[in-house]
């Protein structure tokens, strides 16, 4: 079972046990893997649509001295079979007049995407004559040529269509601008960035950027 499915199951279980503390539900759509300010994967390798959902909880008393952040849980399900993810963290909100507000949320997510793309296997196969490939490619057998071509083709395809995240767990930072239509309902624009920041891993860190729109419903 993919890590995303396990994460969603955990989040649903957590939300069901904390129903009395529910504050807000947010659901929307996102444009997955876009380039914003030069961040994230700049090739649009996984550009596609996705569905985002988040649950916000009332701020716990013990966090009120720290600008009263609200805990959140949520996830994004990619509609194109690309990377999906889910996680949890804290959200800080600032009201901007009577109807506008701004959010910054931070946390950790677990994803089901690619960590790192392996090199073609013939490059590490001791039985493959790499010296012949380098010095005199015409000296390879037809079978060896076909193997190198097929494996190189698959390697290049994956490089062009998959983000190398480098870590199964990633930092997620998101910024939201919301407008309250009523006491209960609001519309939101948001942007999120995922990466390990060379802190959680020393592997590749192409990262992911997405932006989208959401509808928010406040319970209290």
Q: Same structural domain for residues 17 and 43?
A: yes
Q: Same structural domain for residues 49 and 107?
A: yes
Residue 42, pLDDT score: 58
Phi/psi at 75 (5° precision): -170, 170
d(C-alpha 60, C-alpha 47), whole Å: 37
Q: Same structural domain for residues 13 and 48?
A: yes
Residue 110, C-beta contacts closer than 8 angstroms, at least 6 positions apart: 3, 4, 6, 7, 85, 86, 87, 168, 169, 170
Q: Same structural domain for residues 96 and 14?
A: yes
Please give the radius of gyration of the chain, using alpha carbons only, rounded to the nearest integer: 22
Q: Where do the DSSP E strands lie in the chain?
A: 22-32, 48-57, 70-78, 85-96, 100-111, 169-180, 185-195, 208-218
Residue 39, C-beta contacts closer than 8 angstroms, at least 6 positions apart: 193, 207, 209
**90-100 confidence digits (pLDDT tens):** 999 999 999 99
Q: Same structural domain for residues 26 and 73?
A: yes
* Residue 153 banded pLDDT, cuts 50, 70, 90: very high
Q: Same structural domain for residues 154 and 177?
A: no
pTM for the model:
0.84
Task: Note down the domain range covering 95.
Answer: 3-115+166-218
Output 218 or 61, whichever has higher pLDDT. Answer: 218
* Residue 7 banded pLDDT, cuts 50, 70, 90: very low
**130-147 confidence digits (pLDDT tens):** 887 788 788 888 888 898
Which CATH number covers residue 16?
2.40.160.20
- Cβ proximity of 147 and 98 under 8 Å: no
Q: Same structural domain for residues 106 and 11?
A: yes
Residue 30, C-beta contacts closer than 8 angstroms, at least 6 positions apart: 49, 50, 51, 52, 76, 192, 210, 211, 212
């Amino acid at each position: 079972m993919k890590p995303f499915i396990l994460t969603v199951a955990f989040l649903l279980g957590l939300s069901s046990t904390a129903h009395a503390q529910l504050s807000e539900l947010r659901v929307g759509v996102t444009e997955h893997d876009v380039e914003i300010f030069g961040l994230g994967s700049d090739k649009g390798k996984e550009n596609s649509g996705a569905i985002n959902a988040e649950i916000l909880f009332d701020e716990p008393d013990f966090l009120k001295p720290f600008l009263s952040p609200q805990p959140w849980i949520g996830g994004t399900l990619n509609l194109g079979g690309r990377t999906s993810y889910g996680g949890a963290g804290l959200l800080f909100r600032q009201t901007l007049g009577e109807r506008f507000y701004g959010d910054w949320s931070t946390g950790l997510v677990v994803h089901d995407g690619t960590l790192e793309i392996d090199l073609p296997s013939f490059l590490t196969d001791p039985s493959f004559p790499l010296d012949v490939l380098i010095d005199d490619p015409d000296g390879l057998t037809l079978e060896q040529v076909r193997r190198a071509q097929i494996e190189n083709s698959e390697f290049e395809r994956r490089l062009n269509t998959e983000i190398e995240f480098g870590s199964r767990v990633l930092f997620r930072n998101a910024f939201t601008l919301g407008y309250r239509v009523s006491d209960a309902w609001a519309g939101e624009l948001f942007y999120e960035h995922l990466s390990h920041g060379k802190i959680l891993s020393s592997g590749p860190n192409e990262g992911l950027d997405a932006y989208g729109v959401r509808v928010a419903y406040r319970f209290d």
